[in-house]
């Protein structure tokens, strides 16, 4: 594990393997451990970097007032700390919104983009009534007593959490900090990155679970229409956490894209 200090917070990340750099940004209510199958499988060909964003995992507490641009600058600091130039950068769900903000501020650090079951922010990708329902659901979740706090968002999986990753999912859930998750979901509700999409000039992969209930395929198609020359790969029969529900198919798609654009 490596640590870089940025914006007043220590940001932890792991670095595995050798070769072109692939940076992985996790979703809300998770940390870099969610990328375990990809880090293990891709390290034979790539330097796989998985961060714990500020306020998550082994990183320091989230500073007050930390905004979406601050998350992006923290991710930029990780890429710079790795020190091998522009990286291929992937983000799942909330992580994809952070990665888009990274591209807004530091396109020089991005060789290619992998947008995974993500959003141009909830405001940018979902109907207003759906955003309002999610905000209310998050409010109820965060109002629960700490001993009853459950960070599991509805609709993450097509067929329930995969048993083979039960231990790591339970460990991540135990470590979720309610104040961080509240900030993540609040920022996601207000974010609208749609203005950026037509200006993306790097190779872009859209990787989606066919049965994603949180970011439906309509969102993927909107990305495909907006981002010049974006490639869409749909993984059959899986949901929002496609990297864990179908890790072999997911990793094969990532490998093929990254190899083509390394």
pLDDT, position 228:
96
Give yes or no for residue 97 having a pLDDT over 90.
Answer: yes
Whether 87 contacts 22, CB under 8 Å: yes
What is the distance between the terminal CA atoms of the chain, rounded to a whole angstrom?
A: 24
* Rg (alpha carbons) of the chain, rounded to whole number: 17
- The answer to whether residue 146 scores a pLDDT higher than 90 is no
In a 13 Å sphere around the CA of 174, the CA atoms on its Cβ side amount to 7
Residue 52 is predicted with a pLDDT of: 98
pLDDT at 147: 85
Give 65-92 pLDDT, tens digit per residue. Answer: 999 999 999 999 999 999 988 999 999 9
Is residue 46 within 8 A of residue 256, CB to CB? The reply is no
Average pLDDT of every residue of the chain:
97
Cα dihedral 38, 138, 187, 37 in deg (nearest 10): 0
Q: What's the whole-number mean pLDDT along residues 174-179?
A: 96
pLDDT value for 233 = 98
209-250: pLDDT as tens digits: 999 999 999 999 999 999 999 999 999 999 999 999 999 999
Q: What is the mean pLDDT of residues 32-52?
A: 98
Report the percent of the chain where pLDDT is more than 90. 97
pLDDT number for residue 250: 98
The pTM (predicted TM-score) of the whole model is 0.97
* Cα dihedral sign, 93-221-249-155: positive
Percent of the chain with pLDDT over 70: 100
Candidate from 110-119, 142-151, 188-197, 234-243 with smallest mean pLDDT: 142-151
């Amino acid at each position: 594990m490596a640590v870089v200090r940025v914006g007043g917070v220590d940001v932890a990340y792991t670095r595995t393997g050798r070769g072109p750099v692939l940076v992985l940004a996790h979703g809300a209510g998770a940390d870099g451990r969610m990328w375990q199958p990809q880090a293990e499988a891709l390290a034979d060909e790539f330097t796989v970097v998985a961060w714990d964003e500020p306020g998550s995992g082994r990183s320091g507490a989230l500073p007050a007032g930390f905004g979406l641009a601050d998350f992006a600058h923290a991710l930029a600091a990780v890429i710079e700390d790795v020190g091998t130039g522009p990286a291929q950068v992937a983000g799942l769900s909330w992580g994809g919104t952070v990665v888009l903000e990274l591209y807004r501020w530091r396109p020089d650090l991005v060789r290619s983009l992998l947008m995974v079951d993500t959003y141009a922010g909830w405001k940018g990708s979902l109907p207003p009534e759906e955003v309002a329902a999610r905000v209310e659901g998050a409010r109820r979740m965060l109002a629960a007593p700490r001993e009853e706090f459950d960070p599991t968002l509805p609709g993450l999986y097509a067929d329930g959490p995969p048993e083979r990753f039960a231990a790591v999912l339970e460990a991540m859930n135990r470590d979720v900090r309610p104040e961080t998750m509240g900030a993540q979901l609040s920022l996601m509700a207000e974010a609208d990155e749609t203005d950026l999409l037509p200006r993306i000039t790097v190779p872009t992969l859209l990787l989606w679970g066919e049965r994603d209930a949180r970011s439906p395929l309509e969102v993927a198609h909107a990305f495909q229409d907006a981002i010049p020359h974006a490639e869409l790969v749909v993984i059959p029969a899986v949901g929002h956490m496609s990297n864990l529900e179908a890790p072999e198919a997911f990793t094969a798609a990532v490998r093929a894209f990254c190899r083509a654009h390394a």
